[in-house]
Amino acid sequence: MNCPACEGTLSEKTVGGLTVDVCEDGCAGLWLDNFELEKVDEQHESAGEALLDVTGDPGLRPEGDDPYACPSCSDGSVMHRNFFSVKREIEVDECPTCGGVWLDVGELGALRRQYETEEAKRRAAEEEYQRMFGDELDRMRRESLDDLQRARSFAHALRFVLPSYWIPGDQDWGAY
């Protein structure tokens, strides 16, 4: 697999039972398959700690805002930038096709410092969304299929900030 940021070759690295792809000889970015991010994004998760040591070549660090092409999908899927949490400080690149995530160098460390646990992250997200969209969510729960469709894309956008709302059937306003 080639690095989406600097086009170097990604190498596999196994830490704590998890195998990820890192741009070790290049920009030090990190590729995580679907659902791997949640195994390394908290401070107590030692696999994530080990991945912070990847240093790479500072001269190859990515610049610019061009979206990355997914390194895993062969169909040219373009990755989307999503906020990692309701703090809106860190964006990560996610492939809409395979669900993989690309982290530029430094992003893993930054997001591991945001919340100590998944529970703390979830609580912060719930409070924020209740504040912003509480009425809207209640309404969507009651209304038509159109709204359900909108709610689905809404839930998709929330995948990183509120993973439990993304998992089918695990939302308190109904199953997707």
Select from 83, 81, 110, 85 the least CA-distant residue to 94.
81
Q: Does 70 bind Zn ion (CB under 5 A)?
A: yes
Select from 36, 56, 50, 16 the least CA-distant residue to 163.
36
Q: Does 6 bind Zn ion (CB under 5 A)?
A: yes
The least distance separating Zn ion from the CB of residue 132, rounded to whole angstroms, comes to 30
Q: Which of 15, 18, 52, 73 binds Zn ion (CB under 5 A)?
A: 73
Give every CB contact of residue 30 below 8 A, 6+ residues apart in sequence: 20, 21, 22, 23, 51, 54, 102, 103, 105, 107, 108
DSSP 94: E
Nearer to Zn ion, 26 or 48 (CB): 26
The least distance separating Zn ion from the CB of residue 73, rounded to whole angstroms, comes to 3
Based on its alpha-carbon atoms, the radius of gyration of the chain, rounded to whole angstroms, reads 17
Q: Does 2 bind Zn ion (CB under 5 A)?
A: no
Nearer to Zn ion, 8 or 48 (CB): 8
Q: Which of 45, 54, 72, 86 binds Zn ion (CB under 5 A)?
A: 72
The least distance separating Zn ion from the CB of residue 35, rounded to whole angstroms, comes to 13
Select from 147, 148, 112 the least CA-distant residue to 39.
112
Structure tokens that stand for 44 in this block: 């107590």
- In the stretch 75-114, what mask flags binding to Zn ion with x, by CB under 5 A? --x-----------------x-xx----------------
Q: Does 27 bind Zn ion (CB under 5 A)?
A: yes
Backbone angles phi, psi at 72, to 5 degrees: -100, -35
> Cβ–Cβ contacts within 10 Å for residue 141, how many?
14
Q: Which of 20, 22, 23, 37 binds Zn ion (CB under 5 A)?
A: 23
The least distance separating Zn ion from the CB of residue 170, rounded to whole angstroms, comes to 23
Where along the sequence are the contacts to Zn ion (CB under 5 A)? 3, 5-6, 8, 23, 26-27, 29, 70, 72-73, 77, 95, 97-98
